[in-house]
Amino acid sequence: MKTLIFFGSPKQDGDTAALVQEFTAHLDGEIKVISNADDIAPCTDCRYCWHKPGCSIADEMQGMYPYIEACDNVVIASPIWFSSLSGPALNLASRLQTLFAARRFRKDPVKMKEKNGVIILVGGQPGTEIGPTQAALTILKLMNVCRPDAEKIYSLNTDRVPAGKDAAALARCREVAKRLNGAWRGSMRRDAGGSAPKPPTEECSP
């Protein structure tokens, strides 16, 4: 099982990191994390991808595009800023413009298998998660995540209780990780049995 995490916090030891650490501690398989600590620039709207596959920016994101196609799970983890995803999270996600352009402008959508999606959000107040959740769902759709089935993990009282001490959020991290482990094992058993893969629905198709 392969999991890619878009880590949108500038803090490597903050509230978002606490939930990601709890989640990955219980998750099987290979895990890759990309963050603003990597050499990944935001999209410059050069529109290279409107006409050609890939991206004109030569940085570490180039090596992540094949992994996006191959992975089984995609996670967007972000603090909530101004009732939105964080700037670093949006900068990383902007480099998925090539996937959107493939479908919209080049009429050559990237073929990738259906994936499981997870959204991890931390914020100071309940109610601020609505906007960033919708943005994360839109981003996940580009990577062929079936949006209604995306798992959501929230810690929304960090002004008073750090996410690392939010018992309900930590329990949810463990629950979602174990659910993904079980889904992976189930898919391996089905593949071994020779059953046909489930065709993607409109909600799952990029």
pLDDT digits (tens, 9 = 90+) for 164-194: 999 999 999 999 999 999 988 887 776 666 5
Tens digit of each residue's pLDDT (9 = 90 or more) over 76-120: 999 999 999 999 999 999 999 999 999 999 998 888 889 999 999
Give the pTM: 0.90
Torsion of CA 71, 33, 7, 140, to 10 degrees: -10
Q: Are 22 and 170 in contact (CB under 8 A)?
A: yes
Domains of the chain: 2-192 (3.40.50.360)
The reported pLDDT for the residue numbered 110 is 82
For residue 90 the two structure tokens come to 């949006």
pLDDT score of 203: 46
Q: Apex CA 162: angle with CA 159 and CA 164, to 5°? A: 165
Amino acid at 117: G
In the prediction, which pLDDT does 111 show? 83
CB atoms under 10 Å from CB of 38, counted, come to 14
Q: Phi and psi for 63 in degrees, rounded to 5? A: -75, -15
Residue 45: its pLDDT value, please?
96
